[in-house]
Structure 1
Amino acid sequence: MTYYSVLEVTPTNEDWIPDYIEPANELVARHGGQYLARTESHERLEGSGEDAALRIIIEWPSKSAAQAFMNDPGYVPHREARTAGSISHHFLIEAKDDLA
Protein backbone atom coordinates (compact mmCIF):
# COMPACT_ATOMS: atom_id res chain seq x y z
CA MET A 1 0.00 0.00 0.00
CA THR A 2 1.29 3.46 -0.90
CA TYR A 3 2.10 5.94 1.87
CA TYR A 4 2.91 9.63 1.73
CA SER A 5 5.25 11.63 3.92
CA VAL A 6 3.93 15.17 4.26
CA LEU A 7 6.36 17.55 5.91
CA GLU A 8 6.20 21.15 7.00
CA VAL A 9 9.68 22.57 7.54
CA THR A 10 10.68 26.05 8.62
CA PRO A 11 14.46 26.42 9.02
CA THR A 12 15.59 28.24 12.14
CA ASN A 13 19.22 27.81 11.10
CA GLU A 14 20.21 27.07 7.50
CA ASP A 15 23.66 25.59 8.22
CA TRP A 16 22.37 22.00 7.92
CA ILE A 17 20.74 22.43 4.49
CA PRO A 18 23.77 22.13 2.14
CA ASP A 19 24.86 18.86 3.79
CA TYR A 20 21.30 17.52 3.88
CA ILE A 21 20.00 17.66 0.29
CA GLU A 22 22.22 15.16 -1.55
CA PRO A 23 22.22 12.40 1.11
CA ALA A 24 18.46 12.79 1.62
CA ASN A 25 17.85 12.54 -2.14
CA GLU A 26 19.94 9.37 -2.39
CA LEU A 27 18.37 7.72 0.67
CA VAL A 28 14.81 8.55 -0.35
CA ALA A 29 15.46 6.88 -3.73
CA ARG A 30 17.25 3.92 -2.13
CA HIS A 31 14.16 3.22 -0.01
CA GLY A 32 11.82 3.47 -3.01
CA GLY A 33 10.59 6.97 -2.27
CA GLN A 34 9.92 9.71 -4.76
CA TYR A 35 9.61 13.44 -4.12
CA LEU A 36 6.28 14.69 -5.46
CA ALA A 37 6.73 18.23 -4.13
CA ARG A 38 9.50 20.09 -2.31
CA THR A 39 8.70 23.76 -2.50
CA GLU A 40 8.32 27.16 -0.93
CA SER A 41 5.38 27.78 -3.33
CA HIS A 42 2.27 26.99 -1.32
CA GLU A 43 -0.66 28.87 0.11
CA ARG A 44 -3.20 28.23 2.83
CA LEU A 45 -6.71 27.83 1.46
CA GLU A 46 -8.43 27.12 4.75
CA GLY A 47 -7.85 27.44 8.48
CA SER A 48 -5.23 29.34 10.41
CA GLY A 49 -1.91 28.74 12.09
CA GLU A 50 1.75 29.11 11.45
CA ASP A 51 2.80 28.83 7.82
CA ALA A 52 5.78 26.59 7.11
CA ALA A 53 8.55 27.83 4.82
CA LEU A 54 8.69 24.50 2.93
CA ARG A 55 6.15 21.83 2.12
CA ILE A 56 7.46 18.42 1.11
CA ILE A 57 5.53 15.40 -0.14
CA ILE A 58 7.25 12.05 -0.64
CA GLU A 59 5.52 8.98 -2.05
CA TRP A 60 6.57 5.63 -0.55
CA PRO A 61 5.78 2.13 -1.82
CA SER A 62 4.94 1.04 1.74
CA LYS A 63 4.88 2.11 5.37
CA SER A 64 7.92 -0.06 6.04
CA ALA A 65 9.88 1.75 3.29
CA ALA A 66 9.13 5.14 4.92
CA GLN A 67 10.10 3.83 8.34
CA ALA A 68 13.28 2.23 6.97
CA PHE A 69 14.27 5.58 5.48
CA MET A 70 13.64 7.45 8.72
CA ASN A 71 15.69 4.91 10.69
CA ASP A 72 18.45 4.39 8.12
CA PRO A 73 21.79 4.88 9.93
CA GLY A 74 22.92 7.03 6.99
CA TYR A 75 19.92 9.34 7.43
CA VAL A 76 19.73 9.60 11.23
CA PRO A 77 22.43 12.31 11.58
CA HIS A 78 20.81 14.34 8.79
CA ARG A 79 17.36 13.94 10.37
CA GLU A 80 18.81 15.12 13.69
CA ALA A 81 20.44 18.13 11.99
CA ARG A 82 17.14 19.00 10.27
CA THR A 83 15.09 18.76 13.43
CA ALA A 84 17.69 20.73 15.41
CA GLY A 85 17.87 23.45 12.75
CA SER A 86 14.18 23.78 11.94
CA ILE A 87 10.63 23.53 13.10
CA SER A 88 9.57 20.29 11.42
CA HIS A 89 6.30 18.40 11.36
CA HIS A 90 6.23 15.05 9.55
CA PHE A 91 3.04 13.13 8.88
CA LEU A 92 2.91 9.63 7.38
CA ILE A 93 -0.37 9.16 5.54
CA GLU A 94 -1.75 5.90 4.20
CA ALA A 95 -3.14 6.25 0.66
CA LYS A 96 -6.67 5.11 1.38
CA ASP A 97 -10.09 6.63 1.73
CA ASP A 98 -11.65 5.77 5.10
CA LEU A 99 -14.78 7.73 4.20
CA ALA A 100 -15.60 5.94 0.93
Structure 2
Amino acid sequence: MTVYLIAQVKVTDDAWIPTYAEKVHDIAAKHGGKYLSRSGRITPIEGPQPDLSLVALIQFPSLDDLKGFVNDPDYASFAKARQDGTHSTFFAIDDTDAAGTIPYLGKGG
Protein backbone atom coordinates (compact mmCIF):
# COMPACT_ATOMS: atom_id res chain seq x y z
CA MET A 1 0.00 0.00 0.00
CA THR A 2 1.36 3.42 -0.96
CA VAL A 3 2.46 5.62 1.94
CA TYR A 4 3.65 9.19 2.14
CA LEU A 5 6.35 10.58 4.37
CA ILE A 6 5.51 14.11 5.44
CA ALA A 7 8.46 16.04 6.81
CA GLN A 8 7.78 19.35 8.55
CA VAL A 9 11.04 21.21 9.02
CA LYS A 10 12.03 24.44 10.78
CA VAL A 11 15.68 25.12 9.93
CA THR A 12 17.79 26.45 12.81
CA ASP A 13 21.22 25.97 11.16
CA ASP A 14 21.39 25.52 7.40
CA ALA A 15 24.90 24.02 7.20
CA TRP A 16 23.49 20.51 6.61
CA ILE A 17 21.24 21.45 3.66
CA PRO A 18 23.56 21.33 0.58
CA THR A 19 24.92 17.83 1.25
CA TYR A 20 21.54 16.52 2.42
CA ALA A 21 19.78 17.87 -0.67
CA GLU A 22 22.45 16.40 -2.94
CA LYS A 23 22.64 12.89 -1.42
CA VAL A 24 19.39 11.95 0.33
CA HIS A 25 17.25 11.85 -2.82
CA ASP A 26 19.26 8.84 -4.01
CA ILE A 27 18.94 7.06 -0.66
CA ALA A 28 15.16 7.54 -0.73
CA ALA A 29 15.05 6.30 -4.34
CA LYS A 30 16.94 3.16 -3.31
CA HIS A 31 13.87 2.33 -1.17
CA GLY A 32 11.35 3.22 -3.88
CA GLY A 33 10.92 6.76 -2.57
CA LYS A 34 9.87 9.53 -4.92
CA TYR A 35 9.91 13.17 -3.87
CA LEU A 36 6.58 14.76 -4.75
CA SER A 37 7.43 18.12 -3.17
CA ARG A 38 10.17 19.75 -1.12
CA SER A 39 8.92 23.30 -0.79
CA GLY A 40 9.27 26.34 1.39
CA ARG A 41 6.22 27.94 -0.20
CA ILE A 42 3.82 27.24 2.65
CA THR A 43 0.54 29.07 2.14
CA PRO A 44 -1.95 28.86 5.00
CA ILE A 45 -5.47 28.13 3.82
CA GLU A 46 -7.07 27.71 7.23
CA GLY A 47 -5.47 28.52 10.55
CA PRO A 48 -2.24 30.38 11.31
CA GLN A 49 0.95 30.31 9.27
CA PRO A 50 2.97 27.32 10.49
CA ASP A 51 6.44 28.12 11.82
CA LEU A 52 8.21 25.96 9.21
CA SER A 53 10.95 26.50 6.69
CA LEU A 54 9.83 23.69 4.41
CA VAL A 55 7.59 20.69 4.02
CA ALA A 56 8.64 17.62 2.07
CA LEU A 57 6.29 14.98 0.71
CA ILE A 58 7.86 11.69 -0.34
CA GLN A 59 5.90 8.73 -1.73
CA PHE A 60 6.97 5.15 -0.93
CA PRO A 61 5.53 1.84 -2.17
CA SER A 62 4.93 0.65 1.41
CA LEU A 63 5.50 1.50 5.06
CA ASP A 64 8.29 -1.08 5.12
CA ASP A 65 10.02 0.77 2.27
CA LEU A 66 9.64 4.09 4.11
CA LYS A 67 11.06 2.55 7.29
CA GLY A 68 13.88 1.06 5.22
CA PHE A 69 14.78 4.57 4.10
CA VAL A 70 14.74 6.24 7.53
CA ASN A 71 16.63 3.29 9.07
CA ASP A 72 19.15 2.93 6.23
CA PRO A 73 22.71 3.17 7.61
CA ASP A 74 23.58 5.34 4.60
CA TYR A 75 20.97 7.87 5.78
CA ALA A 76 22.05 7.96 9.45
CA SER A 77 24.67 10.73 9.18
CA PHE A 78 22.33 12.88 7.06
CA ALA A 79 19.47 12.36 9.51
CA LYS A 80 21.73 13.36 12.41
CA ALA A 81 22.86 16.51 10.61
CA ARG A 82 19.23 17.43 9.83
CA GLN A 83 18.15 16.75 13.40
CA ASP A 84 20.99 18.89 14.75
CA GLY A 85 20.10 21.79 12.45
CA THR A 86 16.31 21.74 12.64
CA HIS A 87 13.20 21.23 14.65
CA SER A 88 11.50 18.63 12.49
CA THR A 89 8.69 16.15 12.54
CA PHE A 90 8.40 13.16 10.22
CA PHE A 91 5.21 11.14 9.96
CA ALA A 92 3.61 8.73 7.53
CA ILE A 93 0.13 8.49 6.11
CA ASP A 94 -1.24 5.85 3.76
CA ASP A 95 -3.63 6.21 0.86
CA THR A 96 -6.78 5.07 2.62
CA ASP A 97 -10.04 6.89 3.24
CA ALA A 98 -10.93 6.98 6.95
CA ALA A 99 -14.59 7.65 6.14
CA GLY A 100 -14.66 4.93 3.48
CA THR A 101 -16.67 6.95 0.97
CA ILE A 102 -14.11 7.75 -1.74
CA PRO A 103 -14.27 4.85 -4.20
CA TYR A 104 -10.72 5.13 -5.57
CA LEU A 105 -9.12 4.98 -2.09
CA GLY A 106 -8.91 1.95 0.10
CA LYS A 107 -11.12 1.96 3.16
CA GLY A 108 -9.23 3.00 6.28
CA GLY A 109 -9.49 0.91 9.41
Match of 2:14 in 1: 14
CA-to-aligned-CA distance 1:75-95 (integer Å, 9 cap, x gap): 011001101101111111111
Q: Percent identity?
A: 36
Q: Is the 8 A contact 2:7 2:89 kept in 1?
A: yes
Runs of 5+ consecutive residues of structure 2 not aligned to the other structure:
101-109
Root-mean-square deviation (CA), in Å?
Answer: 1.1
Larger Rg: 2
The normalised TM-score by structure 2 is: 0.86
Q: Is the 8 A contact 2:43 2:49 kept in 1?
A: no
Match of 1:94 in 2: 94
Give the whole-Å Cα distance in 2 for the aligned partners of 1:95 and 1:42. 22
Match of 1:42 in 2: 42
Question: How many correspondences in the alignment?
Answer: 100
Letter in 2 for 1:52: L
Give the whole-Å Cα distance in 2 for the aligned partners of 1:48 and 1:42. 11
Report deviation, 1:45: 1.1
Query: Could you say which structure has the greater relative contact order, defined with CA pairs below 8 angstroms and 6 or more residues apart?
Result: 1
Give runs of ≥4 in structure 1 deviating > 2 Å: 47-51
Give the whole-Å Cα distance in 1 for the aligned partners of 2:91 and 2:49. 17
Match of 2:65 in 1: 65
Report deviation, 1:70: 0.2
Distance change >3 Å, CA 90–CA 53, structure 1 → 2: same
Match of 1:82 in 2: 82
